[in-house]
Amino acid sequence: MAQKKEAKHGDKRAVKHTVATPPDKRATATPRTPADDKEILARRVTNAKPDAAQPIKAEQENESNSRGLARGALFVGASAAASYLLMRRKRSQKLITTIRDLVSDSLAIDMGSASTIIAVRGRGVVVDEPSVVAVKKLSGEPLAFGREAQEMLGREARDVQIISPLIDGVVADFERTQAMLEHFVREARSGFSQFSRRAVMSVLAGVTHVEQRALLAAAEQAHIGRVHMVEEGLAAAIGAGVMMDDIRANVVIDIGGGTTNIAVVAGGAIVYADGERLGSTDIDLAIIDRLRRHRGLIIGVSTAERLKLELCSAIEPTTGDESRVTVKGRDVQTGSPGAIEVTAHEIYTVAQPILRRIADKVRDALGEVPPEVSADIYDRGIILTGGGALLDGIEIYLQQTTQLGVRIADEPRFAIVRGLAQLYDEPLLLRRVARNEFSPAMNETAGAFEG
């Protein structure tokens, strides 16, 4: 039995040895050929492809990221370049504006019957001259303008004539008006300036198209690039401190040398406007007529104006404090020089009819406005501007006749030109309130309104 078990165990060990390492197979193995080496190499390459693709994908991703960064850098660079170009453009525009302001002026012109006032943007009032011209009678050639011509008045040579080219606020003599305006504009220009790029001029309310075109043509001949016409009442309101965004109404009365303008302004627009061709110059003429008719003495315009400034009052002077002035002239009867004494009460009597007409015009204007506007005027009263506002007692007189509060604007003679100059700071408002018909020769681009 033991031998049988050993035989069985020996057979199993022999089988195991046969399966694990067959001797015949090791003995019969063939050697590797070059074809086998190629096949093995191809298999290795095939098995290595998935591992080689990963670096390729990583490289592609890196390239994509690099392109994205390049695009971002390009975008940032383009934005920076655009900002730089915009900054350069603004600097260039500022430089052009500065150079343009050096060689050109922006003017505000209040051309009235009695005086012409011109302000330059950034410099204030530079011209304040009487609106008179001295010309030769035979040739009509201008000899003097403004104050120089006025000093000749009454003492001019026999071949010289003193002319007021504007009467009642409108052009009466086109050639003389053009020559006078050109002279004053030349005086207003700075040392660097060679031309006037633009101007804002005041115009009387109710002026006709023919009268307005005559003033525009005179400005063109004075070498002004573009002219904007603005009503005197609105300009006076702006110069008196009325805010253009105030929806409540204000009434402004501008008493000039030859005209009186009444304007009701609300919300930057004129609600009502009217003009009367009556002013302080009419008082001068009334004084001349009074002394010639009732005192037998002929005096000149300059003497009459001096009497008005020294003695005239809108309210009756007191009896105990009545001023007197000795006036010299030519006697009507004998033709020889003479002198009389004139009192303040006499000049007051002369001025009353003219002041009464102005007060009646104001009452008529206040009766034409809507009720809501009347309520605003009752609360705010009346604002006085113009040279006539300097007449002694004028605010008290109008307060008594209208039963409203009255105040005089600061520097009332310059209220209009000050308001015109302020319009340069508000180009949109200037465009809205300008009321002129431009000629083809004028530049109609919107840039003319910009500062």
User: Do 287 and 212 sit in the same domain of this protein?
Assistant: no
User: Do 103 and 201 sit in the same domain of this protein?
Assistant: yes
- Token pair in block for residue 379: 């609360």
Give Cα 233 to chain centroid, integer Å.
17
User: Do 105 and 196 sit in the same domain of this protein?
Assistant: yes
Task: Tell whether 158 is covered by a domain.
Answer: no
- Token pair in block for residue 100: 């343009």
Looking at 318, 352, 386, the residue that finishes a domain is 352
User: Do 291 and 228 sit in the same domain of this protein?
Assistant: no
Residue-wise DSSP of 230-289: EEHHHHHHHHTT--TT--S-EEEEEE-SS-EEEEEEETTEEEEEEEES--HHHHHHHHHH
Predicted pLDDT at 41: 60
Task: Tell whether 263 is covered by a domain.
Answer: no
Task: Tell whether 202 is covered by a domain.
Answer: yes
User: Do 195 and 294 sit in the same domain of this protein?
Assistant: no
User: Do 285 and 190 sit in the same domain of this protein?
Assistant: no
Task: Tell whether 236 is covered by a domain.
Answer: yes
- Token pair in block for residue 435: 């009321």
Predicted pLDDT at 190: 64
User: Do 427 and 343 sit in the same domain of this protein?
Assistant: no
User: Do 329 and 423 sit in the same domain of this protein?
Assistant: no
Predicted pLDDT at 103: 43
Predicted pLDDT at 440: 40
How many structural domains comprise the chain?
Answer: 2
Task: Tell whether 257 is covered by a domain.
Answer: no
Task: Tell whether 59 is covered by a domain.
Answer: no
User: Do 103 and 212 sit in the same domain of this protein?
Assistant: yes
Residue 270 sits at the vertex; the CA angle it makes with 268 and 273, to the nearest 5 degrees, is: 155
Predicted pLDDT at 439: 42
Predicted pLDDT at 441: 38
Looking at 325, 352, 379, the residue that finishes a domain is 352
Type of residue found at 99: I
Predicted pLDDT at 91: 64
d(CA 98, CA 399): 48
d(CA 215, CA 111): 9
d(CA 251, CA 379): 11
Sign, CA torsion 186/197/127/254: positive
Specify the CATH number for the domain of residue 301. Answer: 3.90.640.10
Looking at 352, 374, 396, the residue that finishes a domain is 352
- Short-list 134, 400, 367, 366, CA closest to 251: 366
Specify the CATH number for the domain of residue 224. Answer: 3.30.420.40
Task: Tell whether 181 is covered by a domain.
Answer: yes
Q: pLDDT tens for residues 391-412?
A: 999 999 999 999 999 999 999 9
Q: CA-CA distances (angstroms) from residue 43 to 30, 33, 46, 240, 289?
A: 20, 16, 5, 102, 133
Instruction: Write down the number of H helices and E strands in the chain.
Output: 14, 18
User: Do 229 and 302 sit in the same domain of this protein?
Assistant: no
Long-range CB pairs of 352-358 (<8 Å, 24+ gap) are 353/286, 354/278, 354/282, 354/283, 354/286, 355/314, 355/394, 355/397, 357/276, 357/278, 358/255, 358/260, 358/276, 358/278
User: Do 103 and 229 sit in the same domain of this protein?
Assistant: yes
Task: Tell whether 388 is covered by a domain.
Answer: no
User: Do 102 and 208 sit in the same domain of this protein?
Assistant: yes
Positions in the chain short of pLDDT 70: 1-82, 84-85, 88-104, 190-196, 319-321, 436-451
Q: CA-CA distances (angstroms) from residue 181 to 32, 114, 176, 291, 387?
A: 119, 14, 8, 34, 20
Predicted pLDDT at 443: 42
Domain that residue 320 falls in:
280-352
